[in-house]
Amino acid sequence: MTEKKKGNPRTIKLNTTMDVTISRGAIEYAAGIDPAETWEAVTGENQDLETVAAMRKKHTEQVLKAESTKEYIEKLDDFLKESVRLFQGIMSGNADIIRPYIAGKKFHFILGMPRTGGTTIYNAASSAYGWEWNKLLVSMTHNYMPNAIYVQNNPYVEYDMGWRLPWNFNNVLFELCQFLTYVNREATDKEHVFLKSTPLSYAVKLLNFLFADRAEYLVTVRHPGAVALTKGTGKEVTREDHMEVTTMWTNLYSSIIRECRPVGRITVVPYGESMTQYLNGLFEFRKTGERLEETSFFEFDDYDKDFYDSEPVQKAFKYVKDSWALFDMNFPIPDKCI
Question: DSSP H helical segments within 103-230, as ranges?
Answer: 118-128, 138-141, 148-151, 166-186, 204-211, 224-229
Question: For residue 315, what is the domain's CATH number?
Answer: 3.40.50
Q: Assess if residue 211 is contained within a domain.
A: yes
Average pLDDT rounded to a whole number, residues 98-119? 96
* Model confidence pLDDT, tens digit, residues 11-57: 787 788 888 999 999 999 999 999 999 998 787 665 677 888 888 89
Domain assignment present for residue 138? The answer is yes
- pLDDT for 88: 95
Span 163-174, average pLDDT: 87
Q: Is residue 130 part of a domain?
A: yes
Residue-level length of the chain: 338
Q: What is the pLDDT of residue 91?
A: 92
Burial of 222 (0-12, 13-18, 19+ CB in 10 A): buried
Burial class (CB in 10 A: 0-12, 13-18, 19+), 302: exposed
Query: Per the domain annotation, does 160 fall within a domain?
Result: yes
pLDDT tier for residue 3 given thresholds of 50, 70 and 90: low
218: pLDDT strictly greater than 80: yes
Question: Is 172 within a domain?
Answer: yes
Query: How many domains, in total, are found in the chain?
Result: 1
Question: Cα–Cα distance between 27 and 77 in angstroms, integer?
Answer: 10
pLDDT of residue 223: 97
In-domain check, residue 330: no
Residue 335 inside a domain? The answer is: no
* Domain extent for 223: 2-325
pLDDT averaged over the chain?
Answer: 91
- Tell me the whole-structure pTM to 2 decimals: 0.92
- Least confident window among 13-17, 237-241, 262-266: 13-17
pLDDT in tens, 285-310: 998 877 887 666 888 988 899 999 99
Report the alpha-carbon distance of residue 137 to residue 38 in Å, rounded: 6
Question: Average of pLDDT values for 219-243?
Answer: 91
Q: Is position 337 within any domain? A: no
Burial group, residue 45, by CB count within 10 angstroms (0-12, 13-18, 19+): exposed
